[in-house]
Amino acid sequence: MNTTRRTGILGGRFDPVHLGHLETAIVARQVLSLDQVLLLPSRVSPHRATPAHATNADRMAMVRLATNDDASLTPSDLELETDAPSYTAVTLERLHARGFLPTQLFFILGADAFAEIATWRHYPAVLDGAHFVIISRPGHPVAELTEALPDLRGRIHCVGGEPGRVIPDTDTSPLVLLIDAVTPDISSTRIRERLSRGEPLTGLVPTSVSTYIEHHRLYEPQRDRQLE
């Protein structure tokens, strides 16, 4: 890997990957001038009680299709290489072992997920493994996080979303960077629900992903029962 690059990391089940995921990655890349954003499907999500509906291979294939037209978005099977739960702290350690410095990594997630950061494995040490880039989600503005997480005020900085906003020095130590942006109100759960009712996915997933889902008959009720 070229470890001189500023690399974003967007993890998730991607069950399936959708336009909300892609827009989140693109916003972070544009605001922070990232060279690439890795999209990492998780193998075993530590915060989910049930397994993914689609197989690891199908979820990885959909991520590859979704990122095919944007060279700055890079699919990665890093978390699929191991049977262990996909803890962020472990993923960051594996990237460090490949030569990345914490200040070269930008871990991207929504404000709703970051609000629960104190429950994460190896908190607060995990915050030293990368910059954490927090993006507004519908109903979860980043502005509320400073008050909700007072212990982190010293490292929280608001960037993007306003004219003239200055990006702080990201070469010295890992920070928590808040980006107030509008991203689509889409979830994988709602997409699967639409598919179960035979409704179209127009405007929710890339066309290539919709075609893949239809061709492989993913998320059909019978298939879901077989996978659970």
pLDDT of residue 4: 59
Query: Which amino acid is it at 189?
Result: T
Cβ pair 39, 74 in contact under 8 A = yes
Rounded CA gap, 88 and 127, in Å?
10
pLDDT in tens, 150-192: 999 999 999 976 656 778 999 999 999 999 999 999 999 999 9
SS3 178: strand
The CA-based angle 111-86-107, given to 5 degrees, is: 40
pLDDT band of residue 199 (cuts 50, 70, 90) is very high
Domains of the chain, first to last: 7-185 (3.40.50.620)
pLDDT of residue 227: 44
The CA-based angle 109-112-115, given to 5 degrees, is: 95
Rounded CA gap, 227 and 187, in Å?
20
Query: Which amino acid is it at 54?
Result: A
pLDDT in tens, 105-146: 999 999 999 999 999 999 999 999 999 999 999 889 998 998
pLDDT band of residue 69 (cuts 50, 70, 90) is very high
pLDDT in tens, 79-104: 999 888 889 999 999 999 999 999 99
